Each structure stands twice: as structure tokens, then as C-alpha cells.
Amino acid sequence: MPEVSKMKKPDVKVVLLGDMNVGKTSLLHRYTERRFKDTISTVGGAFFLKQWGPYNISIWDTAGREQFHGLGSMYCRGAAAVILTYDVTNWQSLAELEERFLSLTDTANHDCIYALVGNKADLTDPTAQLCLDSDVASEERKEERTEPQAPSGCPTPPASPASLSGTPLHKQVTPEDAAALYGRILRYKGLEEKSSLPAHKLCFETSAKTGYNVDALFEALFDLVLPSILRKRNENQESPTVDLEECRGGGSKRARAACC
Ligand SMILES: Nc1nc2c(ncn2[C@@H]2O[C@H](COP(=O)(O)OP(=O)(O)OP(=O)(O)O)[C@@H](O)[C@H]2O)c(=O)[nH]1
Ligand SMILES: [Mg+2]
């Protein structure tokens, strides 16, 4: 386990929120591990620290199950961006964002950025079945080399109902539905549409399964939270915190052991 004092301090926090089964954990796996793997329903929450240039970004994956609902606002505290995730084949998962999850973001930063992400696009949209990310493609080719029977190119791993039947599933949520919800989120936050980022910059359709649009989502958000990072760093410079470890000097090891 890494020594706590050596862990990098996150500059900013990004939180994944949304109903159970929409694919939050799978999106995080796809982005951080470049693959789609089996998941189990998340308990509580977990975070991943991403180095983005000189900055450290913590990405929090939260549980969508109702029993963990109370934790949501705690995870959103101080968030610079929230990824509100739904499943494009499940209308209720979009409705839940407004009914159950939006109020949890009241604890986020006042200038928090809200992205709406419709995952599982591979089930409805042939273009999302194609793997466009060259990194993802090369990782998956590596995996294929260990499984000689797999076809070449960029297949979608384990078979889904859509890929089995060859017929795309019915898309229950359109980009227009997502854009309309984005407008309502701005109103809920008391923000003017004219002075906010437009819906097309913050509404994404993704596939954690094929990697479609996943890098584009995270990287667009990281670019957008840069002002938050710079502001926080400036604030820290203006009111620097005292490093107690340094002040303790030679006695620091004993003090840490006693404390923990
Ligand atoms: N076809 C397809 N299936 C997906 C995709 N993303 C996730 N899944 C599947 O959807 C199911 C749920 O995925 P998770 O990532 O565990 O969902 P979650 O939102 O983290 O769920 P909770 O942790 O319970 O809140 C799993 O069976 C995944 O394999 C996707 O992009 N396409
Ligand atoms: Mg999960």
C-alpha cells in the first residue's frame, strides 16, 4: 500500500453519477485500462488518479444502486465536473438522472461542469460498434493474439443481444432528449443558457464496450476543468498551507507512527 504522505494530491475531482447498470465502472475501466471487462455492481465508490499533463485529476466512480444513494452528495462535494451517465437503450435511466441524481450535485463546485453521457451506444448505433481509437484497437489486437480464434480488426468483445442477432436494439434516448435535459440542468443550477457551454459540447454518446467516444469524453472534460485547477492552485499560493511533516523535522517518523 502506498505511503499516504507520498500519494499525489488531486488538483481536481471528476465524479461519475447515474443509475445502476448504465456502465459507469465500465467507462472508467475503458479509459484507464483500455479494455472492457466484467464488472460487479459498485459498492460505495472508488477513485482513480489520472495524471493529465502536470495536473492530477481524481475520477470517482460511484454506486448507482438505491441503497447507496445517501453517499452521492458526499462524493460530489467539491467536484469540478460531474458525468451524469445513462443507458441509451433505457429511457428510465435518463429520467432517474433528473429525479434522483441531480440534487446530489448541490455540493459540487459553483462552477462545476455537467456532462450528459449516453452509454451502450454500440447496442443501437452501427458507428459506435466500430472501434475508432487507435490505442483501444492496438490493446484489443494484443488480447486477440492470446485468443487465436478471435477475428482480426477491432471486434466488440463478449457478445451482446444486439451483436448476437445483428439487429440494433431500440434506442430509447435520442441526443435531442439529452440536450433537453441539459437545458433543464442549467435552469436547475440557475445558469443562463447563453453564457453556458452549449449542449453539443457536453452531451456525448459512448460505448465502454468498443471504446467509442470514451477518450473524447474524458479529455474534453479535463480541458474544461483546467480553469478550475488553475484557480485552486492560485488560491493555494495566496493562502499556503503549513506542511506539518516538514515542521516536525527529524521527529516526523515517530509522530506519524504514533498517529496512525
Ligand atoms: N453493450 C454494452 N454493455 C455495456 C457497456 N458498458 C457497460 N456494459 C454492461 O453493462 C453492465 C453494467 O456495467 P457497469 O459498468 O458495472 O455499470 P455501473 O453503472 O457501474 O453499475 P453500478 O456499479 O451498479 O452503479 C455490465 O454487464 C457491462 O458489461 C457498453 O458500452 N455496451
Ligand atoms: Mg459500477
Domain count, the chain: 1
Convert the pLDDT of each residue in 92-145 to its tens digit: 999 999 999 999 999 999 999 999 999 999 999 999 988 655 555 555 555 555
118 CA distance to ligand 1 middle (Å): 12
- Say whether 26 sits in a helix, a strand or coil: helix
Q: 26, 93, 120: which to mutate for ligand 1, most atoms within 8 A of CB? A: 26
214 CA distance to ligand 2 middle (Å): 16
Above pLDDT 90, what percent of the chain? Answer: 66
Residue range(s) defining the domain that contains residue 95: 2-258
Q: Give 195-232 as a DSSP string.
A: TS--HHHHEEE--TTT-TTHHHHHHHHHHHHHHHHHHH
Convert the pLDDT of each residue in 15-41 to its tens digit: 999 999 999 999 999 999 999 999 999
CATH of the domain at 193: 3.40.50.300
Q: Cβ(61)–Cβ(79) under 8 Å? A: no
Q: List, in order, residues 6 or more apart from 244 with CB less than 8 Å away.
A: none
Rounded to the nearest integer, the mean pLDDT of the chain is 82
pLDDT band with cut points at 50, 70 and 90 for residue 260: very low
User: In the structure grid, which three cell numbers stand for residue 162, read together?
Assistant: 444486439
Nearest-atom number in ligand 1 for the CA of 39 is 16
Query: What pLDDT is recorded for position 106?
Result: 97
Q: Cβ(61)–Cβ(25) under 8 Å? A: yes
Closest C-alpha residue for ligand 1 atom 9: 23
Region label for 44, one of left (φ > 0), alpha (ψ between -120 and 50) or beta (otherwise): left
206 CA distance to ligand 2 middle (Å): 16
User: In the structure grid, which three cell numbers stand for residue 191, read together?
Assistant: 445558469
Q: Could you give the angle at which helices 214-238 and 24-33 cross, rounded to 10 degrees?
A: 80
Mean local confidence (pLDDT), 51-56: 92
Q: List, in order, residues 6 or more apart from 95 with CB less than 8 Å away.
A: none
117 CA distance to ligand 1 middle (Å): 13
Angle at the Cα of 54 (from 80 to 60), degrees rounded to 5? 35
Return the top range by mean pLDDT from 60-64, 158-162, 247-251.
60-64
User: In the structure grid, which three cell numbers stand for residue 133, read together?
Assistant: 481509437
Q: 21, 165, 210: which to mutate for ligand 1, most atoms within 8 A of CB? A: 21
Selected residue with higher pLDDT from 258 and 7: 7
Convert the pLDDT of each residue in 141-194 to its tens digit: 555 555 443 333 333 333 344 444 556 778 999 999 999 999 999 999 999 999
Nearest residue to 16 (alpha-carbon basis) of 39, 43, 45 = 45
